[in-house]
Structure 1
Amino acid sequence: MDVAYDGADFSGWAVQPDRRTVAGVLGDALRTLYGVDLEPGLTVAGRTDAGVHATGQVCHLDLPHSELPDRMSRRLNGVLPGDLRVTAVSAAPADFDARFAATFRRYEYRVTDAPFGAMPLRRRDTLAWPRPLELDRLNAGAALLVGEHDYAAFCRHKENATTIREITRLDWRRDSDGILVATVQADAFCQAMVRSLVGAMLFAGDGRRDPRWVGELLSMRSRSSEVTVAPAHGLALVAVGYPDPADFAGQATKTRRLRVLSPTEPQL
């Protein structure tokens, strides 16, 4: 299932007791329509945090019977709330895994440096930054973060989890309406990583930090107290990539392996 949602009123993707979550609301709709037992639950490409949006989320589950994808999509959207949509449904091979078969996740972060803040209709998905931002400074900092590195300075600590990731794209643009948009793509992200990257780059963009400082953070092996985590509402998961169906199983095996830096990996 391809899924889109306005994350403002959700406590993230994952099911939590007594909290409204994307997986919880979608799971309730599936139980209502199909009576399915969702243990161990929906498998999702990326667990978004509270307040984070998505236009290109992907999840999968096994159903005990088949139904035409278009009919399933219409039925689900008929019972789902307006801030959560199933945009497409398709049958998948048995070895497809929405999480481990993914080759990349792509996020966008929207920021305005307009003196009046965010436009009223975009206030839920655009961060209002109180200082002018320079596009060249933002991109100078972004360029230093591309590649395979240990991003420990930008990640929340998680026991026995690696913080090594490979960012294949990180850049900023200023759209015609003046909004600054950061696009970041990687094989995977650790918790709060994208928002931490954005927080660091914004300090370089408004002149309070030299862009080189952003790259120097990669030398740290634990979370940096100097990095401010940008608010959740500016962030959206916009795309998830997958290989050819014949490579689903191989990609899943590759993803499950623990990442380690190669001996030639430069340390900044």
Structure 2
Amino acid sequence: MTRLRIDLAYDGGGFYGWATQPHIRTVQGTIEAALHKLLRVPEHDPDEPLRLVVAGRTDTGVHASHQVCHLDIDESTLERAVGHMKVPAVTALEHRLQRLLPTDIAIHRVSVAPDGFDARFSALERTYVYRIADRASEVDPRLRGCVLHIDDTLDLDAMNRAAAMTLGLHDFGSFATPNPGGTTIREVKRATWTRVPSRPLVPARDDVATHGTGDVATIGYVTPTLESGLVCFTIVADAFARNMVRSLVNACVAVGIGKRDLDWFAGKMAVPKREGSTGPIAPQGLTLEHVAYPPDDKLASRAEAIRAVRTLP
């Protein structure tokens, strides 16, 4: 049996989250169906399930620019990917899988995983970014699928003071739902709100063209990057519980528009109890950006340690 590491990205707008569900389009279900077709393995085959294990399950409508999963596969099954291609089986699988998948999923790389690698349990941390266009931003309709538009000007100073309360090891029960048998205790390593500066993609021109009469025919202009002016929340943690990031964003936004104050946010952190005012914000602004892993010789020990149920000191 060979364990493969698959690095990928997807536009979550057309999926009901990562995890496979009957008769519903999900990222996992779409990729697994493609694997079964490509490798000529009947679906629900108990001897070769072709089941993906992911670093972090994303909810309905949430995107990933860099997700990681692993797949355990029999070597003889993997060889079926080669066909008439004169390349190694793993390379053939990567190329064929990318061509077979829909355009809202992209395979970055398929590789043989090092010993001890587990996409979920070996991960050291995950990085998510939530993007908002507020009243102080120029709304670009091309980004409507990955940016939330709100008709308020956000107070980033107040939002950063709220976000600072999340740093460290806490029970995020006010903002998340535990998995069966799990907890909402997580360690947040970074949580910051920033406004992306206006960075020119095409710089202003120094030259001015004329037609001999002194009349200006063209003048310099600046084309900003797509993210210029957006408000971004970047959060890094060892792991995230269900709805945790979107619920924290919603609470910070409530503070940023003056609907709630910092004492209210502090109370939610102090008493980890879920209730209506700390529900998740809309999903389209959220993207999983990065998953970090330790050196290869630490993968197995990391996976073993993280499987233990966490408690607060």
On the 8 A contact 1:118/1:127 being kept in 2, the answer is no
State which structure, 1 or 2, has the greater radius of gyration over its C-alpha atoms.
2
Measured in 2, the distance between the counterparts of 1:202 and 1:68 equals: 48
| Residue 304 of structure 2 is aligned to residue 258 of structure 1 | no
Count of residues in correspondence between the two structures: 262
For the residue of structure 2 that corresponds to 1:2, the secondary structure is strand
Distance 2:62 2:194 in 1: 20
Distance apart, 1:62 and its partner CA? 1.6
Moved over 6 A (4+): none
Contact 2:116-2:299 within 8 A present in 1 as well: yes
- Aligned twin of 1:83: 104
What is the alpha-carbon distance in structure 1 between the residues aligned to residue 277 and residue 170 of structure 2?
19
Name whichever of 19-28 and 91-100 sits farther off: 91-100
Question: Which of 33, 55, 60 is the aligned partner of 1:50?
Answer: 60
Query: In the superposition, relative to structure 1, how do residues 205 and 128 fare at CA in structure 2: closer, same or farther (>3 Å)?
Result: same
For residue 6 of structure 1, the aligned residue among 7, 11, 17 is 11
Q: How does 1:232-247 map to 2 (within 5 A)?
A: 232-247=283-298
Q: Kindly report which structure 2 residues correspond to 1:41-190, keeping only aligned pairs within 5 A, or say none.
A: 41-65=51-75, 67-114=88-135, 118-175=139-196, 176=198, 177-190=228-241
* Preserved contact between residue 142 and residue 170 of structure 1 (Cα < 8 Å): yes
- The residue that corresponds to 1:25 in the other structure is 30
When residues 241 and 116 of structure 1 are mapped into structure 2, their CA distance, relative to the original with a 3 A threshold, is: closer
Q: 1-side partners of 2:63 and 2:289: how far apart?
A: 9
Distance 1:30 1:40, change over 3 A: closer
Single out whichever of 235-244 and 206-215 deviates more from structure 2.
206-215
Identify the range of structure 1 (202-211 vs 78-87) with the bigger mean alpha-carbon deviation: 202-211
Residue type at the aligned position of 1:100: F
Task: Kindly state the Cα deviation for residue 196 of structure 1 after the two structures are TM-superposed.
Answer: 0.3
Aligned amino acid, residue 30 of structure 1: L
C-alpha contact (below 8 Å) 2:137/2:230 kept by paired residues: no
CA distance in 2, matches of 1:212, 1:70: 54
1:194 aligns with 2:281: no
Gaps of 5+ in 2: 1-5, 79-87, 199-227
Q: CA RMSD in A?
A: 1.7
Task: Evaluate the alpha carbon distance shift between residue 254 and residue 179 of structure 1 in structure 2; reply closer, same or farther with a 3 A threshold.
Answer: same
Of all paired residues, the percent bearing the same amino acid is 42
Partner AA of 1:53 in structure 2: H
> Residues of 1 paired with 2:173 and 2:150: CA distance?
25
CA–CA separation in structure 2 for the residues paired with 1:116 and 1:108: 17
